[in-house]
Structure 1
């Protein structure tokens, strides 16, 4: 009788262990991920260079991995470096390059008179979303996401998301300009104010939130008049110009009060329109997602 009890108990523990690790033991990566990688490579959207090389397949643990991982130390044909080497899947790299060329560099020249020369960023990591036990696997687990913590300008100045989102006026404007621009390139964009996990970085990914891959998540919803035309990256004239003197005197936002603002979200800037609801000429700008609640997409 005792032997039977011990055997039953052992079998129960084994079954419980298999169930607990089911995500790693029995699930497989979605087929579209490999297909997207192969399509990107077939189109030669990414090719080996002095700063970009192909590595051996990453397979596991569990569903984590990249079929054709690419290790890179720079984007934009080497013009924008990385403070540390990153590993990504092919599809997201052209979108990062396009975002840098069409939004980030024009915005840096507009607001600072400088160019961005480096990014402080993070990429591949086999983990659940926001490191939360039981959550779905992060897009970082498939090399399909990039976290951007800071931009370094050609004069050596570093603009961090953590301090710049509520910092000097030019930093606020630059970060909001590149945040809104990112929503035209990536299916998920999360920044300060979206939830407690993204107070210090922009999360960018190409997740498929629906079978057709059309739904987009862009949080927080902010009110800000972009000065860059989304179609040409040209600077648009302001409908109501603000004198330079008055603009220079606009104070930085006060530091976040954890009791009132636990996620570090800046107060909404006054605007004639909500860019998430008024996409303008670029059809890829998403409509505003539902308000309220947290998105667990990192």
Structure 2
């Protein structure tokens, strides 16, 4: 009986530690962005308005923002994008990322941003068309971090039994929210991240 009680105590202590870690993470997130302003007329989009972003040739954008958090989810680094991209990112978080994760690890805490605005061609190929990144229309996500610190990596976990189904659900859920959705298996250039952009195609969203 004594060993049973000890086992129960260990389990309860472990649960308490997980709850404490989740609480600490949420509090740290709130403190991290305390006092920062909202952008795009949406209180849940935290960052700074930077206005015109000049670029070579057709690169650049008007009314650019530097996004730092979306509806309580932090970005690992500020994303320089347009408001439309930010709004669709919020939609994806709430309709795809959060439902895919559920209560696993306390929920979604942070997105690991691999790229946002950059004046370059598609996949950095010489002579290719300009990437949607060059217009502030795109964002690349390499991983999703949970409240308990677990990181779901696109490169490492796409084919894993534990997190693979969640990542695939997120990827599938992005189709239609974004004009372009690319990930592992799409073209050889997106094995380690999701590419999302708000390009408008006559034939509808391009998802692969």
Q: Same fold (TM over 0.5)?
A: yes
Structure 1: gaps of 5 or more residues: 1-43, 220-298
1:103 aligns with 2:96: yes
- List, as ranges, runs of 4+ consecutive aligned residues in structure 1 with deviation greater than 6 Å: none
In 2, distance between residues paired with 1:113 and 1:106?
13
State the partner residue of 2:135.
Answer: 142
**More strand as a share of residues:** 2
CA contact (8 A) 2:67 2:86 kept: no
**More helix as a share of residues:** 2
1:185 aligns with 2:177: yes
Query: Cα distance, 1:72 vs. partner?
Result: 1.2
State the partner residue of 1:72.
Answer: 67
Find 2:81's aligned residue among 88, 92, 104.
Answer: 88
1:173 aligns with 2:165: yes
State the partner residue of 2:26.
Answer: none
Count of aligned positions: 169
CA contact (8 A) 1:46 1:93 kept: no
TM-score (norm 1): 0.54
State the partner residue of 1:216.
Answer: 205
Select the structure with the greater relative contact order (CA < 8 A; seq sep ≥ 6): 2
**1:219-240 deviations in whole A, cap 9, x for unaligned?**
0xxxxxxxxxxxxxxxxxxxxx
Structure 2: gaps of 5 or more residues: 1-38
TM-score (norm 2): 0.76
Secondary structure class of the residue paired with 1:176: helix
1:61 aligns with 2:56: yes
In 2, distance between residues paired with 1:59 and 1:113?
41
Query: Cα distance, 1:149 vs. partner?
Result: 0.2
CA spacing shift, 1:87–1:48, aligned 2, 3 Å: farther
**1:230-284 deviations in whole A, cap 9, x for unaligned?**
xxxxxxxxxxxxxxxxxxxxxxxxxxxxxxxxxxxxxxxxxxxxxxxxxxxxxxx
In 2, distance between residues paired with 1:117 and 1:96?
14
Q: Which structure has the greater CA radius of gyration?
A: 1
Query: Cα distance, 1:208 vs. partner?
Result: 2.2
CA contact (8 A) 1:59 1:65 kept: yes
